[in-house]
Structure 1
């Protein structure tokens, strides 16, 4: 389903400005972007006050991924590699104020959220409930077009989910996996300000990027119901992140 592009460096692109290429924001409703990784990366840039510009892009990186960045004449794909690269360039720490053991825990949460917790969301909206998701996807397009796109995604995501392993389970089992992950996030967060303490880290960006897809989109996600009924501290975390670092979130959701 991915279509790679050959991004052209433009003369007006400024040195040391990150040009963040994301799936067009018009494809999302009630959330800034349908890609949790685009949201994760933009939040990280905001927290670390790195100059950036977000660019809607139909294509994908040389690795077939979105988001990707153009930075000082170079294309860099994959949100985690992008953060690693920019952290070194701008002398930022993705895990500030953490010791080695805490960094290990933080990395484990990032991997759980991005490689496990995200899948029940993708399966719900792209495989099992595309008619429901059509009301929240590419709403600038006619419904017939939306369903055609989602029909193609249904087969592609279904195959990837089966290859991952999670797609081999029943609907109830898949959603239980997602809810169990959410409970683990909530239990670890507890009464802390952010996931790892008083300072936001890349873990908060990953959690926000992935779970914003269910918290803010009023579909029938079992994971959404679970968060709203059982995990008020996650909602508080999200409000804190938006109010501190993404004050124009609501405005951008309408773009």
Structure 2
């Protein structure tokens, strides 16, 4: 039996982690049943100190991409959508852009503005005892700020970040067009990744410039909601 180790925190009813959400969608696409381990207990098992992690028997697979590969190799999961290698190369590039560029605009939006961080502290750390909550939340915030500064996005102004993010959104919107999924009528692995990233941009936060930017692309909002409806979180969670 597979056990999906993930964060329990949600924003507007959607997993706060786009990578945990991506794995949920992949599992639903594959029709695989699984158990769930959430919260601090899940994080304590993480070989790389991050979630998601998939446990398969005694093996721990860290990182959403290695989880996807494990499902393909060991469970015959097919996330190709029946597309050609050339088409899937395009899908791979869009997935990488969403996970290594678009994602960091979302991270900065959540953690840098004080008014948004107040929501994050409540939703991410609310299960902790009050005497621990604030200190751990602020330590995590410092770590995130260091990460985005090292990456580069933390060094930009808000206007610059939004401009970079908008360019990514425009590219995805153009590729999507009026198709239901990135490559056509059938979803592939990249839809799990890109759809999860866009869903996580739509969280209601006090400082909402990023969400408003995303909402300027109606086909992306419809696309994210389509994936949410087609592959609800934990749709194949074991009873």
Q: TM-score, normalised by structure 2?
A: 0.86
Q: What displacement does 1:218 show? A: 4.2
Tell me the distance in 2 between the aligned counterparts of 1:86 and 1:207. 19
Tell me the distance in 2 between the aligned counterparts of 1:21 and 1:235. 28
Q: Is the 8 A contact 1:166 1:174 kept in 2?
A: yes
Partner of residue 188, structure 2: 201
The 5 A counterparts of 1:20-169 are 20-23=4-7, 25=8, 27-58=9-40, 59-60=43-44, 61-129=46-114, 130-134=117-121, 136-140=123-127, 146-169=133-156
Tell me the distance in 2 between the aligned counterparts of 1:171 and 1:66. 28
Distance 1:247-1:66 versus aligned 2 partners, 3 A rule: closer
SS in 2 for 1:196: coil
Q: What displacement does 1:142 show? A: 7.3
Distance 1:220-1:22 versus aligned 2 partners, 3 A rule: same
- Residues 50-93 of structure 1 show CA distances to partners (whole Å, capped at 9, x for unaligned) of 11122214125112221101102211111001101111112222
RMSD of the alignment, in Å?
2.2
SS in 2 for 1:75: strand
Q: What displacement does 1:122 show? A: 0.8
Tell me the distance in 1 between the aligned counterparts of 2:163 and 2:141. 21
Distance 1:218-1:248 versus aligned 2 partners, 3 A rule: farther
Q: What displacement does 1:139 show? A: 4.2
Q: Is the 8 A contact 1:19 1:55 kept in 2?
A: yes
Q: TM-score, normalised by structure 1?
A: 0.81
Distance 1:98-1:180 versus aligned 2 partners, 3 A rule: same
- Residues 114-133 of structure 1 show CA distances to partners (whole Å, capped at 9, x for unaligned) of 11110011112112332354
Unaligned runs of 5+ in 2: none
Unaligned runs of 5+ in 1: 1-16, 250-255
Tell me the distance in 2 between the aligned counterparts of 1:238 and 1:153. 28
